[in-house]
Each structure stands twice: as structure tokens, then as C-alpha cells.
A and B are shown apart, each in its own frame.
Chain A
Amino acid sequence: MVFLTLSCWIRNRGPDRFWKVQELLKHARHFRGRKNRCYKLAVLAVRRAFVYATKSRKLKKRNMRTLWITRIAAATREHNMKYPILMHNLNKCSVQLNRRVISDIAITEPRTFLSLAKLARARQQEGFRAALGDGKEPSGVLSRVMLQ
């Protein structure tokens, strides 16, 4: 007896399963345990990792901003001032530096940061004088507060 249909039962499903599996496992190589080797476990772990990555793109922006704010607050407290005072008065002086740039300045350019702090302090005093005073500027000083 010869089995003639035996050769028809052999199916070649596809030549590149190995490479498709490797494409997924390459994203799991730095995981802990069997998730970095076994396909069934790696599929779930890699999907979860990608979901976390998409959600964290928004979180990263929030976290970076809070970090910048913490750093600017620390630097202003070194100059006997507080963060909200600095930002409000820089805003009123129409200094449009964002928090990223100001925190970089605070770390690498301390004297520039000191000048920003002094500018904010001067604008604050002008605001107090405008609010409490009689509407006239002190002699010899021209400020935008009164002109606005």
C-alpha cells in the first residue's frame, strides 16, 4: 500500500513566522522573567507597555512642567522671593519666557536669574505704589505701569 495523499496533507503555513515573532519579542527583551522569551506572555506584556507609553506622553508634559516649577521656586527662594510673585510680575512686565527656559537659566546662568528676580521685585514695588499711592510716579522714574 502506498499513501498517495500523504503529501497533500503537508501544509506550508508561511515561511516567516520566526521573523514576525522576533519583531514582537525585540520590544520585550528588557523585561523581567519569562515575558522576555515566551511569545504568549510577551504579547500581553508588550501590549501593556505600549499602552503605558501612549498614556505617558501626556503625563510627561505634566511632570516636566511641575519639575520646572519646583526648580524655579527653589531658585527664587534663594533670592528671598516666592514663585507666584516672580511669575506674576514677569507676566506683567511682558517677559514671555516659559518655565522650561527659566528653570534652565536658574541652573546654568545664576546671574541672569538674579536679574530676572530683581526685575520682578521692582515691578512688584511699582504695583504696590500704583495701588497705594496717589497715582503720581516718583520723580525721575518712567514706568509703564502709569502709562498703561
Chain B
Amino acid sequence: MSSFSRSAQQWATFARSWFLIDARMQPPGKIATMCSVRLQGKHKPIYHALSDCGDHVVVINTKHIAFSGNKWEQKVYSSHTGFPGGFKQVTAAQLHLKDPKAIVRLAVYGMLPRNLHRRTMMQRLHIFPEDELPDDIRANLTEELPQPREIPRKLSEYTQEEIDAFPRLWIPPEDYKMK
């Protein structure tokens, strides 16, 4: 690596970009992996753990996050206040009602490497429960990332022609009672 030519020096290589992710109807785990990759700088070919090459990530609409399966009732977030008898366990649904930003924040925190850089990387993560962003953050945004999950359309969002064009899989007999 000792023969870099001066002619191709790109001055913005180590610049810090600001990414925007819309978390509406997305699984928080997938959002968190995308965030953690960009906060560490692992999406750049110039990555090194010591060279502080992470970027800022702004996550919006975290109030409309969508867990798959029964995780809203089954996933448990535990914590301890430090006092005796202070072991608290809350389900994901209760935690989300109390603080809509907590689920994404805890997910990203758990996916970052367990070293002293983790707190600085969490400082560079900006989470907003709704669409509103402060103007200074909105001015800094450079790129929006595509959503990891394709949102399926509701039945009411299909046009009548598409519903009619769908092939009939099964014709009920005449004396069949529909519920």
C-alpha cells in the first residue's frame, strides 16, 4: 500500500454522510442491522475499526414499526434498577407504548460491537417516532436507504379490476354457507 499516486486523491473519502431510513411497516431487526452497518462504517471499502469512519443514521416513523409473528406479546425486554426486587420485565407492546423509540434504540445498541466506540456510534444515531425532523437534521441528509421489507398491499388498496382478474382457485357448491 505504499504506492498511492497523488493524481487520484479523492478529498471527500472520509466525509461523514447522513442516511435516512423510513421504518414504517418494517421489522425493527432489519432496520437495526442496516443502521449498525452504517454506524460502524462497514459499508465503506476504507473501513478500519480505529479510523472513525462511521456515518450518521436518521430513523423516522419508528412508532409504526412492525414485528413479525407474535413478538409484540412474546418478546420481553428485561432490566434491573439495581435495588433489591427491582427486576423489571416488559413486553415489546408495553415498552412501545411507553417509549416508541426504545425498541429500535435497544436493537441497534445490541448489534454494535461491545467496545468504547459503541456510545459514540449511538450518539450518531437519530431516532424519531414520527415524520417530523428538525430542520438542521433535514438539511444534513444525503441519502435515503431503500426499505428492507416490501409492504404488502391491503385488500382495500387493490382496484376492482385487479380483484376480478385474479384467478378463482375454488368454486363453492350451491349449498355452501359462507360465514
Contacts and interface: CB of A to CB of B under 8 A. Distances in A.
Contact of B43 (A77, A107, A108): A77
Interface in A33-79: 67, 70-75, 77-78
A89 interface: no
Interface string B45-69: 1111000000000000000000000
A104 interface: yes
Interface in B37-94: 42-48
A104 B1 contact: yes
A108 B46 CA distance: 10
A90 interface: no
B17 to A, nearest CB: 13
Interface string A98-122: 0000011011100000000000000
B47 A74 contact: yes
B48 A103 contact: no
Interface in B1-31: 1, 4, 8
Interface residues of A, number: 14
A70 B47 CA distance: 8
Contacts of B44: 74
B30 to A, nearest CB: 15
A71 B43 CA distance: 8
A71 B47 contact: yes
Contacts of B1: 104
A70 B45 CA distance: 8
Contacts of B4: 108
A141 B8 CA distance: 37
A104 to B, nearest CB: 6
B46 A71 contact: yes
A132 B42 CA distance: 35
Nearest to B13: A107
A67 B48 CA distance: 7
A75 B48 contact: no
Given A104-B1, A108-B4, A108-B8, A74 B48 contact: no
B129 to A, nearest CB: 29
Nearest to B46: A107
Given A67-B48, A104-B1, A74 B43 contact: yes
Residue from the set A72, A74, A75 with the largest chain B CB neighbour count within 10 Å: A74
Nearest to A75: B45
A71 to B, nearest CB: 5
Given A104-B1, A108-B4, A108-B8, A70 B46 contact: no
A78 B145 CA distance: 12
20 contacts: A67-B47, A70-B42, A70-B47, A71-B45, A71-B46, A71-B47, A73-B42, A74-B42, A74-B43, A74-B45, A74-B47, A75-B45, A77-B43, A78-B43, A78-B45, A103-B45, A104-B1, A107-B45, A107-B46, A108-B4
Interface of B: 1, 4, 8, 42-48
Given A72-B45, A74-B42, 8 more contacts: A71-B45, A74-B43, A75-B45, A78-B45, A103-B45, A104-B1, A107-B45, A108-B8
